Structure 1
Amino acid sequence: DGFIPCLSSNAERESEASNRIWSYRLSQDTAYMDALKLTITSKLNRNDSDDIKMLLSALSTTIGSILVTGKVSAQPFSAWETSMQSEALNSLKLSNIALKRGAFSGLKRLVCGLAFSYVNEDTMTNPFWEGIDYPGPLVNNVEGGIEDKVQGAEKMYDFIVQGAVIDTSKWKEQKTIEYDCVIIGSGAGGSVAAANLAEAGYSVLIVEKGSYVQQHDISQREAEALDTMYERHGLLTTSDGQVTILAGSTLGGGTTVNWSCCIETPEHVRAEWVHEHGLTQFKPGGEFDSSMEHVLRRIGAKRDHIALNGMNLKLEKGLKAMNVKYEYTKQNLRDCEAASAGYICFGDRTGNKNGALSTFLVDAAKNGAKIITNARADHVLFDAADNSNAPRKAVGVSLSVGDSVFNVKAKRCVISAAGSLHSPCFLLRSGLTNSHIGKHLHLHPVVGAYGEFSDSIHGYLQAPMTIACKDVCMGPKLDGYGAFIECPSMHPGLAAATLPWNNAKKFRQNISKLKNMSANIVLQRDKSEGRIRLSDDGFNPTIDYDLSADDKTSMLEALIVATKAVIASGAEQVSTASNTDSGISFTDEMDKTTPLVNRLESKKAKAYFAVMKKKGIEKHSIGVFSAHQMGTCRLSVSPNRGVCDENGETWDCDDLYICDASTFPTASGANPMCTTLAISHMISSRIAKRLQYEDNLLAGDLLLKTRRLVEEHKLKRNERKLHLHRESSNYKLWNVISVVVLALAALYFQGISAASERLDSSLPKLF
């Protein structure tokens, strides 16, 4: 009740639905309270769950309430008037102690996000949706005024009906379970690798830890989609709670739930990968370009059918007024104007999207690839080499499916495409020791600016991310570490979780205007490097990440540009995602007669920007999100620079490859799907050619070219590993020598000290 208390309505709010926004009391809604309890006890990771339980336990006592909130009362928090609860929450928000601000931010995201996304199973709706004019699921919603017609939509391939998804209970009867290639993960990386290897004639097993939600089971409900198709039910955060992380965990991975924005790897990023990381395959006109062209063609990524929804139209209007450059982004949607294109982050109910479920996984299945879902890849199985000095070789994977454990033999290779969060965990569980595993994590941290308009925007309808402003992409230092400005798809749960909470009344005012609201988000190419560790359960990732000063400076610069674009597009109310930002208003008569772009030069606008600069990107004060995770098993030219070689093969183990965004040497600086698809296509094409060469299936020029590449790669790989071994041996030798020298020196000086002591004791006797 402290976050969303029951407030009195006024005469202007005539409809019952509008009044409900203000008067509805969630604490008396059994369905909501049950959903909240279930989330805390069963869906949060153990540490977060324990922290919230401890906080709530403290607030249930008088002393604990005083210590947590600083408010003196003879009663515990739960017995306070809601106005006093709101004041106490406000004091947490404004605390100088980051831990208290973090507690506020975590509770606010959880309580408010769930409040506007959960569905009462009896009424099959949310009590606030009607009042904020949110249509809910568009399935069979013609009577609600939105007719969802998708041009060119197709019935999606059903992997269960077609026999691609297999029943693992039959494995219990088999002595040996074997495939040529076992691929962990089914997203942008795994789907492409599976398609390439299956097409090359090899038997493929795709292992997906998430579930397969068939087309007819996609409900288009926000809370349900987050619960069933996202990592940790959409509740994943960094270990300190600073960044909320959205990642797909379903068949098709991120391609099933992303916003369909297709941007190729920026040229300056590729140049950095070539010149600073030595990865020549990213040179213009080379192999990577061929792979990029192939994957873009297969997913139908194009911009000639772009239609801007209300939110992108506002962004375009603001950027034009400011004379700032932008471009339309390619989309892998058949129909950008379809209303349901805005619901694509909840799965593809209409067959509009060319994600992995409609492209590469279909290609793989039609060539015989098999899929298991709700399966956990525990660790790699290695060969029992007689020579302990010989490199380890991957020969299979140990899988857990329910209560059963299966050892699946991989006759030719194992590929981890589990993503930047889980690929390093898989390698760590398997005992690999490369020091770079899990390091160099990049998140493309996101902050937002919001605008409220007099006209309807409906930012949750139609394709969401069709414009990208790259004006600040080179960053304050012009080193390529800047930001893109784009638009999200803004459904009630996401909006409530990200909108600033200044006080209970203002928060309700903001969320009640959802249909009139736009959001410009800043997507930062981060220099910051985080780390993935295995959590206490031995499976899930723990994510350590902190924003660097450079990234904060760049994000702030881009956020000011994004905010200016909101103002220049005609917003009446403007704010950022900072919980301490009370916003700025443009509703008086002078504002209405001032040209929009001239508002940026007004005294109040300049004062607002000055306050933004002073506050900066303060930890736990401004909401930071991430939908992109990259770089934890990066490609490299040497084992002391990364986890994999140029072919994606891990330095620690032969025939174990990585084909996902964890291979990125740095953050990509653009939505990473296309880069991931292209890298996976490049790596898996090399694997397929190598296997075909070993099987004598190639002829002519292709045979000669492949033979040369395979032999060169083998020679280089062995040389580098030998060099590293020598370096390691020399390092160990120098360590031994250093220890011996230090020991001798200690003995020597100890002897001098003893002699000195004897001299000191004998000198007095001489006199």
Structure 2
Amino acid sequence: MQLLSTGWGTFLLGSVGRVNTFTFKYPFFRKFSSLPPAERERVLQGWASSPLPSIRQMFKALKSITAWAFYSKLNEHGENVAWKAIGYAGAAPEVRNRTEADFNQRRPLGDNHIDAKEAGVRLKSILANKGFSVVEEIDSFRAQSESLGYRKNEGDIHVECDVVIVGSGSGGGVMAAALAKQGFKVVVLEKGEYFAAQDVSSLEGPGMVNMLEKMGCLATDDGGVSLIAGKTVGGGTAINWCVSFKTPENVRNEWVNDHGLDMFSSERYDLALQAVWDRLSVQPDVDKHNLQNTVLQEGCKKLGLHYGTLQRNSPSDHYCGWCSYGCPTGKKQSTAQTWLVDAVDTGNAVVLSNCNAEHVFHDSSPYSKKDRKAQGVAATIGNGPNRIFIKANATVVSCGALMTPVLLLRSGFTNPNIGKYLRLHPASTTWGYFPEGTGPEGKAYEGGIMTVYSPVALRKPTEYGGLLETGVFHPAVFAAFHPWRSGADGKERLLRHGRTSHITIVTRDKGFGTVKIDKERDAVFNYSISAYDEESLLAGMVQSLRVFIAAGAVEVGTHQLDGERFNVEGASTSDIEAYLARVKRRGAKESSIQMASAHQLGSCRMGTSPATSAVDPKGEMWEAEGLFVGDGSVLPTSSGVNPMVTIQSIAYCTADSVVQYLRKYQV
């Protein structure tokens, strides 16, 4: 950005986009803001089509951040100046119609959720009154705390309990409930905040800032893949789209045959799947498909493609298109509505929000069968400087496949499989435009977000392939992900926002990336889509475009940076095939397409040897006794379907291992 404020910098950056901003009139080199609008657009267009991947990535980042900021910015009335022009209502109907009585209803976690930052000095007495042992200092932590440079603060808190769980999402929530029900005292730490249904704004700006990692701006190191991960009580289950798949049989067989994990062919795992299914109230019915899902269903039907209705952890009348930012009705059965409620209702568990875990304490022990033994964790309260130190007989890390390896690496664990084998289910999206009076009724962002799916027909179901599903795009995310060719083009796309239907291709990736920390101990996520997975993604894109055309879209396109909009009306079969060939030719590399991941998996995978995995079949770290991992990072490979039920089922089994460990080693 600084370069663009100078004439020379603008000339150089224009040149890499193959645009010449030099003029023979003084001043010969003009800064970006001095260029006429048409020339500025040419510079940006040049970046989007640059032969240099780094320049295309720069364009993606600049376009996405700028567009998102403009369409998510709120005025003093809680509205955006563009919403009226594009026909967007803003908040969900349940939020717009919310009363004071609604807001004052009891929240599901009651007073067993404690905002540690807000509680301040009262936190000690609150925890003590709930039966937790609050002590002056934990002697066994002293040496490690000093080596980490932790300074003593007057507001530091020291607690002892049976189990500390870092993370409140799919894995952490399940394990909290299972362990608390067995009578163990459990502290759940969550670095985000708690939003019950009546606290949800349903707006893109506040929702992403408050409920997503890095305010929704998390990405791989080169910016190629946007990483969507929850940072709130409930984790990813608070912001996901309800889709519930049991672990596919072919995936279970692969984990047994290729990874030696017999648990996945056992009755124990069957029972875990059913327990999760029942607690989440998963059911197969949908009262009404929305615009997008009707388009997917009808297009598949006309093409003779297999399709099905998705099972969801919400009732059949859950017609909410705003669940990306928390469910304003409370009908979605996140862990904050289910497992965490079960945990705190026992009287044995508390959920502490605004607690960011920094370090897992561990030390050698003559009584340990492994090199180390976990002792507990240290977490910063809010933005610091105060910390909470928790000594526990068992420690569970459930930060998700992005952040669990980061915490373990920062804590000094060295197994080379920590952070390896990161799978992302890389996804991209295609779109079809249905003017008012054509196609199904309604707005694309209203109604159940995902209720229909179709497998990508490229490969056999037992192979690594993909799924066609729908995804919701409210204005800011729509503008951030859709291609941009000019100011006029961008505005026209937004004017069509409500009637633009989307299909997202979710790829079961065979390739993998890594999670590491740099010299400053910051997280670094590396991922490049493999040729095999790119082929799957492209096949899904082409298939989805055919679905749109069959369903009657008048215009279709992709999220490839070129931004081509194909007019279906009047197009011949050869015209359509030529367009689809252009889509395939452009490819689906991260630098040439908007790519995202909502399912991060496998970065601390389960296995039968420390040479190939980070945790053993019980979910315990190979390096440390009493340290368990309970989240998507333990999956041996990508699941190929929305992984919530699989993650929770594995965590359910791991919780049983923790119970056995505590009963055997509890002092």
- Distance apart, 1:84 and its partner CA: 1.1
Partner of 2:160: 178
Amino acid at match of 1:396: G
2:83 is aligned to 129
Q: Give the corresponding residue for 1:308.
A: 289
Distance 1:469 1:478, change over 3 A: closer
Query: Which of 325, 339, 346 is residue 346 of structure 1 equivalent to?
Result: 325
Residue 56 (structure 2) aligned to one of 87, 96, 101: 101
Output one character per residue of 1:692-740: Cα deviation in whole Å (capped at 9) or x when no partner: 46679xxxxxxxxxxxxxxxxxxxxxxxxxxxxxxxxxxxxxxxxxxxx
Q: C-alpha separation between the residues in 2 aligned to 1:164 and 1:641?
A: 39
The answer to whether the aligner puts 1:582 opposite 2:599 as a matched pair is: no
In the alignment, structure 1 residue 490 sits paired with structure 2 residue 473? yes
| Secondary structure of the corresponding residue to residue 448 of structure 1 | strand
Counterpart CA distance in 1 for 2:431 and 2:177 is: 41
Contact kept, 8 Å, 1:416 with 1:659, in 2: the verdict is yes
The answer to which of 294-303 and 451-460 deviates more is: 451-460
Name the CA distance, whole Å, in 2 between partners of 1:418 and 1:390.
23
Residue 675 (1) aligns with residue 620 (2): no
- TM-score by structure 2 length? 0.88
Aligned pair in 2 of structure 1 residues 537, 342: CA closer, same or farther (>3 Å)? farther
1:466-505 alpha-carbon deviations (Å, 9 max, x no partner): 1111243xx5487621000000112111111111112322
Pick one of 623, 638, 660 that aligns with 2:609: 638
Paired letter, 1:89: L
TM-score by length of 1: 0.77
Report the Cα distance in structure 2 between the residues aligned to 1:88 and 1:653, rounded to whole angstroms. Answer: 54
1:61 aligns with 2:13: no
Moved more, 602-611 or 69-78: 69-78
1:139/1:220 contact within 8 Å kept: no
Say which SS state the counterpart of residue 645 (structure 2) adopts: helix
Q: Which residue of 1 aligns with 2:72?
A: 117
Contact persistence 1:325–1:471 (CA under 8 A)? no
User: Given that residues 209 and 375 in structure 1 are in contact (C-alpha distance below 8 angstroms), is that contact kept between their aligned partners in structure 2?
Assistant: yes
Of structures 1 and 2, the one with the larger relative CO (CA 8 A, separation 6+) is 2
**How far apart are 1:685 and its partner, in Å?**
2.0
The yes-or-no answer on 1:605 pairing with 2:586 is: no
State the partner residue of 2:430.
449
User: What does residue 360 of structure 1 align with?
Assistant: 339
State the one-letter code of the partner of 1:113. W
Partner of 1:382: 362
Instruction: Tell me if structure 1 keeps the 8 A contact 2:302–2:550.
Output: yes
Q: Which amino acid aligns with 1:123?
A: H
Conserved? CA contact 1:59–1:76, under 8 Å: yes
CA shift for structure 1 position 389? 9.2
Partner in structure 2 of residue 238 of structure 1? 220
Offset at residue 159 of structure 1 (A): 3.0
Number of the residue aligned with 2:25: none
Which of these residues, 567, 586, 592, is aligned with residue 621 of structure 1? 592
Which residue of structure 2 aligns with residue 297 of structure 1?
278
Alignment deviations for residues 45-99 of structure 1 (CA, whole Å, 9 cap, x no partner) = xxxxxxxxxxx10000000000001222331001111111111100111111111
Distance in 2 separating the partners of 1:230 and 1:398: 22
How is 1:648-667 mapped onto 2 (pairs within 5 angstroms)? Answer: 648-667=619-638
Partner of 1:157: 107
Distance in 2 (alpha carbons) for counterparts of 1:546 and 1:287: 36
Q: Does structure 2 conserve the Cα–Cα contact (< 8 Å) formed by 1:156 and 1:351?
A: no
Counterpart for residue 394 of structure 1: 374
Say yes or no: does 1:505 pair with 2:488.
yes
Query: In the alignment, is residue 138 of structure 1 matched against residue 123 of structure 2?
Result: no
Q: 2:21: which partner in 1?
A: 72
The answer to whether structure 1 residue 468 and structure 2 residue 450 are counterparts is: no
CA offset at residue 430 of structure 1? 1.5
CA distance in 1, matches of 2:450, 2:606: 29
Give the stretch that moved more between structures: 84-93 or 302-311.
302-311
Report the counterpart of residue 699 of structure 1 in structure 2.
none
**Is 1:637–1:645's contact at 8 Å kept on the other side of the alignment?**
yes
Structure 2 distance, partners of 1:395, 1:546, is: 37
Matches within 5 A, 1:655-734: 655-692=626-663
In angstroms, what is the RMSD of aligned CA positions?
2.3
> Offset at 1:169?
2.8
Q: Report what 2:149 is aligned to.
A: none
Alpha-carbon separation, structure 2, partners of 1:249 and 1:618? 28
Q: Does 2:39 align with 1:84?
A: yes
CA contact (8 A) 2:369 2:625 kept: no
**Is the Cα–Cα contact under 8 Å of residues 112 and 351 in structure 2 kept in the other structure?**
no
2:229 and 2:480 map into 1 onto residues whose CA distance is: 16
Give me the whole-angstrom Cα distance separating, in 2, the residues matched to 1:325 and 1:117: 37
Q: For the Cα contact (< 8 Å) 2:282–2:314, is it kept in 1?
A: yes
Conserved? CA contact 1:184–1:417, under 8 Å: yes
2:267 corresponds to which of 286, 310, 321: 286
User: Cα distance, 1:457 vs. partner?
Assistant: 4.1
Contact 1:309 1:337 in 2 (8 A): no
Q: 1:92 to 1:347 in 2, by over 3 A?
A: same
Equivalent residue for 2:394, pick from 390, 400, 413: 413
Q: 1:163 to 1:226 in 2, by over 3 A?
A: closer
Q: Take 1:156 and 1:615, find their aligned partners in 2: how far apart are those partners?
A: 53
Question: Which whole-Å deviations, capped at 9, do the CAs of 1:543-562 have from their partners, x for residues lacking one?
Answer: 01111111111111111001
- Mapped partners of 1:246, 1:522: distance in 2: 15
Task: Flag the 1:302–1:69 CA change in 2: closer, same or farther, 3 A.
Answer: same
The whole-number CA distance in structure 1 between the counterparts of 2:271 and 2:260 is 19
Distance (whole Å) between structure 1 residues aligned to residue 21 and residue 253 of structure 2: 59
Secondary structure, counterpart of 1:451 in structure 2? strand
Distance 1:272 1:520, change over 3 A: same
Classify the secondary structure of the residue corresponding to 1:397.
Answer: strand
Cα 1:450–1:663 change in 2 (3 A) is same
Deviations 1:257-310 (CA, angstroms, capped at 9, x unpaired): 111111121211111111000001111x52111111101110111112453111
Taking every aligned residue pair, what percent have the same amino acid on both sides?
31
Following superposition, the deviation at residue 587 of structure 1 comes to 2.9
Deviation at 1:535, TM superposition (A): 4.2
- For 1:129 and 1:468, how far apart are their aligned partners in 2? 30
Matched residues in 2 for 1:390 and 1:419: separation?
24
Deviation at 1:312, TM superposition (A): 0.2
* CA deviation profile, 1:552-609 (whole Å, cap 9, x unmatched): 1111111100111011110001001112141211234xx6xxxxxxx7xx11101101
Q: SS where residue 559 of structure 1 aligns?
A: helix
Q: Which amino acid aligns with 2:598?
A: A
Deviation at 1:336, TM superposition (A): 3.7
CA contact (8 A) 1:155 1:351 kept: no
Does the 8 Å contact 1:336/1:462 carry over to 2?
Answer: no
Greater Cα offset, 164-173 or 626-635: 164-173
Secondary structure of the corresponding residue to residue 54 of structure 2:
helix
SS in 1 for 2:361: strand
8 Å CA contact 1:168–1:372 kept in 2: the answer is: no
Q: Give the letter for the 2:635 counterpart.
A: F
